[in-house]
């Protein structure tokens, strides 16, 4: 169905020439799901953009071939004129983009955007195309599709916008689908529904699919083959069951050990130290060597090649080339680094008599429903309806539930971001002071104590500011006593903590991948050392290695500084690892809450049981 040979993609940036993809070779059969996994910035999304010929203006294909189809139906993607490529793009090759908020047109109703795709690539027109659009909205789980089809993207939650993006990609029923993090912003029930839908379409049309994701549990349940990318190259490719049962590359093994879960609550996750190397440099050895726990002297001067170690299982590592002996083990520095990552950390005891840090009582958030030519208020919608919970100092309360249930609205109301958009009732007491009644200097002081990590990192970062300016802005406003030198030193420490290279400080948000932008957003929230952080899906856009770094960092902050977390997420594995207590939301209300072990192991409500049943689990042999 798809064949890529020796693909090389280069980007021209201020720092020099970036070889984002270096000699990529892969093939995908009709009806097969091929998963591409790896860290943020390794080239996964750039591969997808190259296949669609949607590279950024400073990027180009320097070498290689891309063919889709077989025999007489085969198409040379790189050789087509743009006029013919527009028919292939969206018609024969569909794509689900990573960031729905930036992929949907904000001034077009969602129905118009789906109908546009249907009318461009199928024979349906007018009422028939609109009926088909309503049907696709229903199939991807949008409630009341007949009414929601006439809404604009800003009226939908992040997960709902992702579902609309999926509907647009599938509406023309393409032969081949590129799914770039298709379920990242979705809760587990809708994720299960979308994955079932993709499986059904594959069976019906024998649709090939390139699945780009960092969710290894989804990969194990969906993919027939897996390729692991690192620094622009594929370093391991194997059948999915063999990859999860017996990964060969040290990087693959480290990724699987970095997955969070209840069995790892006792200690830190095995995060991989360092970051993906800059791709502006020439490489004279293994690109993973500086971070590898099994690094050996030959790794620095010998470039490994992709070689077969068993049937359909290839690895790019000197451990299997005869150049290096696997029995020699890791170098002393690598062993020391691994021991440091796994070393237990002391717990700072909290004063239980001090009372909760945050006490939310009867929170109700009502949005006006407008209509007519003058957009007059016709009624109100209770997005949050009488929610109450407490967060102790140094505690993590996880807020879980389906997309649109009010989780994000609850978080935004607490940090005072909805005052002009909605009517807010109830109380949110921060150490006894009601956040909803604060004004002026008192509110400014509270903002230093309460920060938020937003769900959509690109929409929350100023596109006209460099990363250093974004991180410095909050420090200058909320901690004016710090000198410019002090602020710079703190910013540099933050970039190290969240796994970014320091050269990132001079770049703009659009120059980063989705996962890298999320790290910037996390660093911004941590900059002013808050007492409470509202984390709205803070790790949803991160690969597992960086997720492990961030979860370890958040737990370190809790133990050292007593920081509390209101953790909004749909990732139950993260909840099992980091949460002390869990509150399950449904339709604006809390359905069930209690200790993490109790709610997840012995739920009392049917809705909670259904939510947990939909969680994908790693299917390793």
In this structure, the answer to whether residues 427 and 518 fall within a common structural domain is yes
Last residue of a domain, one of 342, 363, 398: 342
185 and 149 fall within a common domain: yes
Same domain, 380 and 517: yes
Q: Mean pLDDT, the chain, as a whole number? A: 86
Claim to verify: residue 413 and residue 451 sit in the same structural domain: yes
Residue 414 is part of which domain span?
Answer: 354-613
- 523 found inside a domain: yes
Decide if 388 contacts 363 (C-beta within 8 A). yes
Report CA 100 to chain centroid distance, whole Å.
Answer: 12
Query: What string of DSSP letters covers 605-617?
Result: SHHHHHHHHT---
Whether 583 and 459 share a structural domain: yes
Q: Report the pLDDT averaged over residues 562-570.
A: 90
Specify if 244 maps to a domain. Answer: no
pLDDT-wise least confident of 176-185, 327-336, 403-412, 585-594: 327-336
Looking at residue 581, its pLDDT comes to: 95
In terms of domains, do 332 and 379 share one? no
Residues 317 and 371 placed together within one structural domain of the fold? no
Highest mean pLDDT out of 195-204, 325-334, 591-600: 591-600
Residue 18 lies in a domain: yes
CA distances (Å), 368 to each of 130, 375, 379, 420, in order? 27, 10, 6, 11
Residue 230, domain member (yes or no): no
Tell whether the model's pLDDT for residue 334 goes beyond 80. no
Tokens of 353: 């008599």
Q: Could you tell me the two tokens for 432?
A: 């006894």
Which of 291, 313, 342 is the last residue in one of the domains?
Answer: 342
Residue 618 lies in a domain: no
Query: Same structural domain for residues 487 and 572?
Result: yes
pLDDT digits (tens, 9 = 90+) for 247-291: 999 999 998 888 888 777 777 888 787 778 888 888 999 999 999
Q: To the nearest whole percent, how much of the chain has pLDDT over 70?
A: 94
Residue 601 lies in a domain: yes
Within a domain: residue 242?
Answer: no
Band of residue 185 on the pLDDT scale cut at 50, 70, 90: low
Q: What percent of the chain has pLDDT over 90?
A: 47
Reported as a pLDDT band with limits 50, 70 and 90, residue 307 is very high
- Domain boundary among the residues 316, 342, 368 is at 342
Note the pLDDT tens digit of each residue in 447-488: 889 999 987 777 889 999 999 999 999 899 888 889 999 999
User: How many domains does the chain fold into?
Assistant: 3
- The CATH number of the domain where 433 resides is what? 3.40.50.300
| Local confidence band at 224 (pLDDT 50, 70, 90 cut-offs) | very high
Residues 465 and 316 in one domain: no
Does residue 593 share a domain with residue 469? Answer: yes
End-to-end CA, the chain: 29
pLDDT band at 337 (very low <50, low <70, confident <90, very high): very low
- Give the model's pLDDT for residue 64: 94
The pLDDT value given to residue 348: 41
Is residue 233 assigned to a domain? no
**pLDDT category of residue 340 using cuts at 50, 70 and 90:** very low
pLDDT at 541: 67
Q: What is the pLDDT of residue 135?
A: 94
pLDDT category of residue 582 using cuts at 50, 70 and 90: very high
pLDDT-derived band of residue 547, with 50, 70 and 90 as boundaries? confident
Q: Is 450 helix (H, G, I), strand (E, B) or coil?
A: strand
Q: Report pLDDT for 347.
A: 40
Give the list of residues 6+ apart from residue 473 with CB closer than 8 angstroms, or none: 465
Task: Answer yes or no: do 398 and 481 share one domain.
Answer: yes
Dist. CA 447–CA 442, nearest whole Å? 9
573 pLDDT tier (thresholds 50, 70, 90): confident
Question: For 546-587, what is the HEC assignment?
Answer: HHHHHHHHHHHHHHHHCCEEEEECCCHHHHHHHCCEEEEEEC
Please check whether residues 405 and 551 belong to one and the same domain: yes
């Amino acid at each position: 169905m798809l064949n890529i040979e020796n693909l090389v993609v280069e980007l021209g940036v201020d720092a020099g020439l970036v070889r984002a993809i270096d000699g990529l070779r892969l093939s995908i059969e009709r009806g097969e799901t091929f998963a591409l996994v790896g860290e943020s910035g390794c080239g996964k999304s750039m591969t997808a953009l190259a296949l669609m010929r949607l590279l950024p203006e400073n990027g180009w294909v320097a070498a290689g071939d891309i063919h889709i189809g077989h025999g007489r139906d085969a198409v040379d993607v790189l050789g087509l004129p743009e006029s013919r490529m527009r028919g292939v793009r969206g018609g024969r090759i569909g794509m689900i983009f990573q960031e729905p908020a930036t992929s949907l047109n904000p001034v077009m109703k969602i129905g118009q955007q789906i109908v546009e795709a249907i009318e461009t690539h199928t024979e349906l027109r007018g009422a028939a195309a609109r009926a088909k659009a309503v049907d696709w909205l229903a199939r991807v789980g949008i409630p009341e599709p007949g009414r929601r089809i006439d809404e604009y993207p800003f009226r939908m939650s992040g997960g709902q916008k992702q579902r609309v993006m999926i509907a647009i990609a599938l509406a023309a029923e393409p032969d081949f689908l590129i799914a770039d993090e298709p379920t990242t912003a979705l809760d587990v029930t809708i994720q299960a529904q979308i994955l079932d839908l993709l499986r059904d379409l594959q069976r019906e049309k024998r649709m090939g699919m390139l699945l780009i994701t960092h969710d290894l549990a989804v990969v194990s349940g969906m993919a027939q083959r897996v390729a692991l990318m690192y620094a622009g190259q594929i370093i391991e490719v194997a059948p999915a069951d063999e990859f999860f049962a017996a990964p060969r590359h040290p990087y693959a093994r480290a990724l699987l050990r970095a997955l969070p879960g209840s069995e790892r609550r006792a200690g830190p996750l095995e995060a991989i130290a360092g970051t993906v190397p800059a791709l502006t440099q020439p490489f004279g050895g293994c690109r993973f060597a500086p971070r590898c726990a099994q690094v050996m002297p030959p790794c620095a001067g010998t470039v490994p090649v992709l070689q077969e170690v068993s049937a359909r299982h290839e690895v790019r590592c000197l451990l299997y080339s005869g150049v290096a002996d696997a029995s020699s083990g890791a170098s002393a520095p690598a062993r020391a680094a691994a021991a440091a990552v796994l070393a237990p950390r002391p717990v700072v005891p909290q004063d239980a008599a001090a009372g909760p840090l945050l006490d939310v009582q009867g929170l109700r958030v009502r949005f006006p429903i407008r209509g007519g030519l003058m957009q007059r208020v016709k009624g109100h919608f209770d997005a949050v309806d009488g929610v109450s919970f407490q967060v102790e100092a140094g505690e993590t309360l996880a807020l879980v539930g389906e997309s649109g249930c009010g989780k994000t609205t609850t978080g935004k109301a607490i940090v005072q971001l909805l005052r002009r958009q909605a009517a807010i009732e109830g109380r949110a007491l921060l150490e006894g002071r009601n956040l909803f009644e604060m004004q002026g200097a008192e509110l400014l002081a509270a903002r230093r104590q309460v920060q938020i990590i937003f769900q959509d990192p690109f929409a929350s970062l100023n596109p006209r500011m460099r990363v250093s300016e974004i991180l410095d802005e909050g420090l200058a406003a909320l901690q004016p006593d710090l000198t410019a030198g002090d602020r710079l030193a703190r910013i540099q420490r933050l970039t190290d903590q969240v796994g970014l290279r320091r050269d990132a400080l001079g770049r703009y948000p659009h120059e980063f991948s989705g996962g890298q932008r999320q790290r910037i957003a996390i660093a911004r929230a941590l900059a002013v050392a808050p007492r409470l952080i509202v984390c709205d899906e803070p790790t949803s856009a991160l690969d597992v290695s960086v997720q492990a770094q961030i979860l370890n960092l958040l737990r370190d902050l809790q133990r050292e500084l007593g920081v509390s977390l209101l953790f909004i997420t749909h990732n139950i594995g993260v909840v099992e690892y980091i949460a002390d207590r869990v509150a399950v939301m449904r339709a604006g209300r809390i359905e069930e809450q209690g200790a993490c072990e109790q709610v997840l192991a012995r739920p009392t409500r049917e809705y909670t049981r259904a939510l947990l049943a939909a969680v994908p689990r790693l299917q390793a042999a």
